[in-house]
Amino acid sequence: MKKVLSILLVLVMAASLAACVTGKNGNSGNTVDNNSADNGGTANAPANTSEGGNTLTVWCWDPAFNIYAMQEAEKVYQKTNPDFKLNIIETPWEDVQTKITTAASSGDLSTLPDIFLMQDNAFQKNYINFPEVFTDLTDSGIDYDSFAQAKAAYSVIDGKNYGVPFDNGTGIDCLRTDILKQAGYTIDDFKDITWDRYIEIGKDVLAKTKMPLLSSQAGSPDLIMEMLQSCGQSLFKEDGSPNIVENQALTEAINVYTTMVKEGILVEVNDWDQYVGTFTNGTVAGTINGCWILASIQTAADQSGKWALTNVPSLKDISNATNYTNNGGSSWGISTNCKNVDLAVDFLSKTFAGSVEFYETILPSSGALATYLPAGKSEVYAQPSEFFGGQKVYADITEFAGKVPSNITGVYYYEARDAVGTAMTNVVSGADLESELKNAEDTVKFQMGQ
């Protein structure tokens, strides 16, 4: 009996493992079936989230930011189309991903909304895994030339556009001017500099004020990825193969990071809350991140007027190195379950991709910055920010956004990022850089099944 039981147990485990594997491989092969299942399935699917008519369903997260922006876009569009309505379903990003994966893997797309928000770093991965989910917007009439090119590139696959850019993640270097002053520097000393110069100033500021310039979450390779993108590089080559061991920019970026930790210019903390705490509590003199970090910085009302921002440092001796980068951000996609693609396209092109007035409305109350370049020239964007000592931060950031080099994110972006994060942590603790990068590349290749 025991033998029979153990054999059965092994069989069940093997079967569930096999089910997982075939499920994964079956996705791309199922494209046609999925579409036909979708067409046939929608007729008797009562929970269909795409409403048709003059109403569009939207999945997005963050009531203070994305949801608010969508509600304002609805108002703007209603001026020319009074019957238009949006049904916004609050869905955190992780859940958008889970729901899309579940719907696409089960071949039943009828539960998808008309419009969904997707993290830029996950856009290419999702398109490559589930192409049947995305509507091709290349010839839809949306003017992609009016967006920052690097931003629009996140949702371009094989030369075709599948998304409408929204949330801006342009890299900025925010600094406490009062602390810099104590050390004898101004914000201009940080403009258009290299990381070498940044470290040099950092040492001096640390010696004079005992304040590190930067903080970062231990194990999170955000800074490394930002440095890579500032050179138009990523962890992948054009053909999709990993570019880790022989990636000069990556080696240099990890060296810069390690030096900063060793010199005490960068203090590592354990989690995101502590990271935010370092600058809101005033234990560091600045931070480098995507421009959405402004919202967190400004929660420390007592530091109003003591901040300024500039572009990020560049990597020395690396070809195509710039002082502009990006971290995060998201774009809108239209699902193939959308019953009224024309309406969805028209809505997006007259709001997120065509209305300066819309961006002027959402900026002051939510800080939602555009990558829609015409908005950068508007008067609202040129308003000085009191918190940043009168600097025209929004106009500056939109200008930076137009100069960010684009890079390849690929299907295995998050896997490669994690592997490099591990390598970085080990190198900081004293491991050999070359062998760690080799391990990281092997890990990524293993996950890619190579």
Contact of 371 with 401, CB cutoff 8 Å: yes
Rank residues 22 and 319 by Cβ distance to other proteins and give the closer one. 22
Given 28, 36, 39, 281, the residue binding other proteins (CB under 8 A):
281
Total residues interacting with other proteins, rule: CB under 8 A? 49
Q: Does 62 bind other proteins (CB under 8 A)?
A: yes
Given 55, 258, 296, 425, the residue binding other proteins (CB under 8 A):
296
Given 61, 136, 263, 350, the residue binding other proteins (CB under 8 A):
61
Q: Does 402 bind other proteins (CB under 8 A)?
A: no
Judged by CB under 8 A, the chain residues 96 through 125 that form the site for other proteins are 98-99, 102-103, 105-108, 110-111
Minimum separation from the CB atom of position 293 to other proteins (A): 8
Alpha-carbon distance of 337 to 111, in angstroms, equals 8
Q: Does 5 bind other proteins (CB under 8 A)?
A: yes
Alpha-carbon distance of 250 to 239, in angstroms, equals 18
Considering just the CA atoms, what is the radius of gyration of the chain in Å?
24
Alpha-carbon distance of 421 to 167, in angstroms, equals 25
Rank residues 104 and 201 by Cβ distance to other proteins and give the closer one. 104
Q: Does 49 bind other proteins (CB under 8 A)?
A: yes
Contact of 404 with 148, CB cutoff 8 Å: yes
Q: Does 299 bind other proteins (CB under 8 A)?
A: yes
Other CB atoms within 10 Å distance of the CB of residue 209: 17
Contact of 235 with 417, CB cutoff 8 Å: yes
Q: In DSSP terms, which residues pair with 268 in a beta bridge? A: 216
Stretch that binds other proteins, among 18-26, 156-164, 231-239, 373-381 (CB under 8 A): 18-26
Minimum separation from the CB atom of position 436 to other proteins (A): 32
DSSP state of 105: H
Alpha-carbon distance of 121 to 149, in angstroms, equals 15
Contact of 305 with 384, CB cutoff 8 Å: no
Alpha-carbon distance of 309 to 324, in angstroms, equals 13
Q: Does 45 bind other proteins (CB under 8 A)?
A: yes
Minimum separation from the CB atom of position 8 to other proteins (A): 6
- Strand 330-334, strand 115-119: pairing: antiparallel
Please report, as ranges, the residues that interact with other proteins according to CB under 8 A.
5, 8-9, 12-13, 16, 19-20, 23, 41, 44-47, 49, 61-65, 88-90, 92-95, 98-99, 102-103, 105-108, 110-111, 273-274, 276-277, 280-281, 292-293, 295-296, 299-300
